[in-house]
Amino acid sequence: MGQYCNLVRDTMIPYQWEILNDRMEGKEPSHAILNFKIAAGLAEGDFYGEVFQDSDLAKWLEAAACCLETRPDPVLEAAIDDVITIIEKAQEKDGYLDTYFIIGNQEKRWQNLYECHELYCIGHMTEAAVAYYKATGKRRLLDMMSRCADYIDQCFGREPGKLRGYPGHQEIELALVRLYEVTGCERYLALSRYFLEERGKAPNYFINEWRTSRKRRTFKNNMRVGEPDLIYNQSHKSVYEQKSAVGHSVRAMYMYSAMADVARITNDATLYQTCRTLWKDVVYRQMYITGAIGSTHMGEAFTFAYDLPNATAYAETCASIGLMFFTSRMLRMDVNGVYGDVMEQVLYNVILGSMSRDGKHFFYVNPLEVWTEASEKNPERFHVKPVRQEWFGCACCPPNLARFFASLGKYLYSYNEDTFYIHLYVSGQVSAKTEHGIFRLSVSENYPWGGEIEVILEEVPSENAKIAIRIPGWCREWKLFLDGRECGCPVRNGYVWIYGGLRPGRKIRLVLSITAELVAANPRVRDDAGKTAIRRGPVIYCLEEIDNGKNLSAIRLDTKHAFCLEKEEGALSLETAAVTGRGFRLNEEAWGEELYRPLGSEEKEITVRAVPYCWWGNRGPGEMMVWIRT
CATH number of the domain where residue 434 is located = 2.60.40.1180
Angle, helices 118-136 vs 74-90, to 10°: value is 140
Higher pLDDT, 6 or 316: 316
Is the per-residue pLDDT at 144 higher than 80?
yes
Least confident of 301-305, 419-423, 546-550, 617-621: 617-621
Q: Give the mean model confidence (pLDDT) for residues 321-350.
A: 97
Same domain, 496 and 534: no
Q: State residue 117 phi and psi, 5-degree precision.
A: 65, 20
How many folded domains does the chain comprise? 3
Helix (H/G/I), strand (E/B), else coil: 270: helix
Digit-coded pLDDT (tens) for 79-101: 999 999 999 999 999 999 999 99
Residue 277: DSSP 8-state: H
Higher pLDDT, 378 or 212: 378
Q: How confident is the model at residue 221 (pLDDT cuts 50, 70, 90)?
A: very low
Residue-level pLDDT at 600: 82
Instruction: Say what percent of the chain tops pLDDT 70.
Output: 97
Helix (H/G/I), strand (E/B), else coil: 381: helix
Type and span of the H or E element at 430: strand 428-434
| Distance between first and last Cα of the chain | 33
Q: How confident is the model at residue 590 (pLDDT cuts 50, 70, 90)?
A: confident
Say which amino acid occupies 37. K
Alpha-carbon span 260 to 254, nearest angstrom: 10
Task: Sheet containing 419-422: give its strands across.
Answer: 413-415, 419-422, 466-470, 495-499, 491-492
Alpha-carbon span 612 to 137, nearest angstrom: 41
Is the per-residue pLDDT at 315 higher than 60?
yes
pTM of the prediction? Answer: 0.95
Q: What is the mean pLDDT of the chain?
A: 93
Residue 192 vs residues 144, 162, 234: alpha-carbon distances, Å: 18, 15, 16
Domain that holds residue 613: 516-629
CB 327 within 8 A of CB 374: no
Q: How confident is the model at residue 464 (pLDDT cuts 50, 70, 90)?
A: confident
Q: How confident is the model at residue 404 (pLDDT cuts 50, 70, 90)?
A: very high
CB 578 within 8 A of CB 566: yes
Angle value at C-alpha 360, between 354 and 362, nearest 5 degrees: 25
Is the per-residue pLDDT at 3 higher than 80?
no
Angle, helices 317-333 vs 249-266, to 10°: value is 20
- Of 147, 140, 141, 100, give the one whose Cα is nearest residue 120: 100
Contacts of residue 267, defined as CB under 8 A and 6 or more positions apart, other chains included, come to none
DSSP-assigned beta bridge partners for residue 443: 428, 455
Is the per-residue pLDDT at 259 higher than 80?
yes
Residue-level pLDDT at 104: 86
Is the per-residue pLDDT at 372 higher than 70?
yes
Same domain, 555 and 618: yes
Is the per-residue pLDDT at 223 higher than 90?
no
Same domain, 482 and 359: no
Residue-level pLDDT at 1: 64
Angle value at C-alpha 451, between 447 and 453, nearest 5 degrees: 75
Same domain, 540 and 474: no
Residue-level pLDDT at 388: 84
Is the per-residue pLDDT at 222 higher than 90?
no
Alpha-carbon span 95 to 152, nearest angstrom: 8
Radius of gyration, CA atoms only, the chain:
25
- Of 140, 143, 141, 163, give the one whose Cα is nearest residue 153: 163
Same domain, 481 and 561: no
Digit-coded pLDDT (tens) for 485-544: 999 899 999 999 999 889 999 999 999 999 999 999 999 999 999 999 999 999 999 999
Same domain, 578 and 523: yes
Alpha-carbon span 440 to 3, nearest angstrom: 22
Same domain, 243 and 363: yes
Residue-level pLDDT at 396: 81
Q: Give the mean model confidence (pLDDT) for residues 554-564.
A: 93
Helix (H/G/I), strand (E/B), else coil: 422: strand
Please say which residue of 386, 407, 428 terminates a domain. Answer: 407
Say which amino acid occupies 514. I
Please say which residue of 355, 386, 407 terminates a domain. Answer: 407
Same domain, 487 and 372: no
Please say which residue of 353, 384, 407 terminates a domain. Answer: 407
Same domain, 275 and 187: yes
CB 132 within 8 A of CB 63: no
Alpha-carbon span 294 to 314, nearest angstrom: 6
Q: How confident is the model at residue 220 (pLDDT cuts 50, 70, 90)?
A: very low
Least confident of 96-105, 153-162, 567-576: 567-576
Type and span of the H or E element at 265: helix 249-266
Q: Give the mean model confidence (pLDDT) for residues 59-76.
A: 94
Task: Compute the Cα dihedral for 523, 524, 528, 529 and give only its sign.
Answer: positive
Helix (H/G/I), strand (E/B), else coil: 200: coil
Residue-level pLDDT at 500: 84
| Burial group, residue 431, by CB count within 10 angstroms (0-12, 13-18, 19+) | exposed
CB 20 within 8 A of CB 82: no
Least confident of 164-168, 318-322, 357-361: 357-361
CB 433 within 8 A of CB 413: no
Is the per-residue pLDDT at 602 higher than 90?
no
Residue-level pLDDT at 227: 81
Alpha-carbon span 329 to 345, nearest angstrom: 16
Higher pLDDT, 593 or 1: 593
- Length in residues, the chain: 630
Is the per-residue pLDDT at 17 higher than 70?
yes
Find the CATH number of the domain harbouring 233. 1.50.10
Contacts of residue 189, defined as CB under 8 A and 6 or more positions apart, other chains included, come to 176, 177, 180, 262, 265, 266
Same domain, 531 and 581: yes
Same domain, 344 and 487: no
Say which amino acid occupies 376. E
Number of Cβ atoms within 10 Å of the Cβ of 192: 26
Residue-level pLDDT at 225: 54
Digit-coded pLDDT (tens) for 178-219: 999 999 999 999 999 999 999 999 999 999 998 887 555 444
Same domain, 122 and 32: yes
Residue-level pLDDT at 218: 47
Least confident of 119-123, 248-252, 253-257, 383-387: 383-387
Q: Give the mean model confidence (pLDDT) for residues 281-305.
A: 97
Contacts of residue 221, defined as CB under 8 A and 6 or more positions apart, other chains included, come to 229, 232, 298, 299, 301
Task: Compute the Cα dihedral for 233, 239, 241, 242 and give only its sign.
Answer: positive
Active-site residue set: 300, 396
Alpha-carbon span 290 to 354, nearest angstrom: 11
Instruction: Say what percent of the chain tops pLDDT 90.
Output: 80
Is the per-residue pLDDT at 568 higher than 80?
no
Residue-level pLDDT at 24: 84
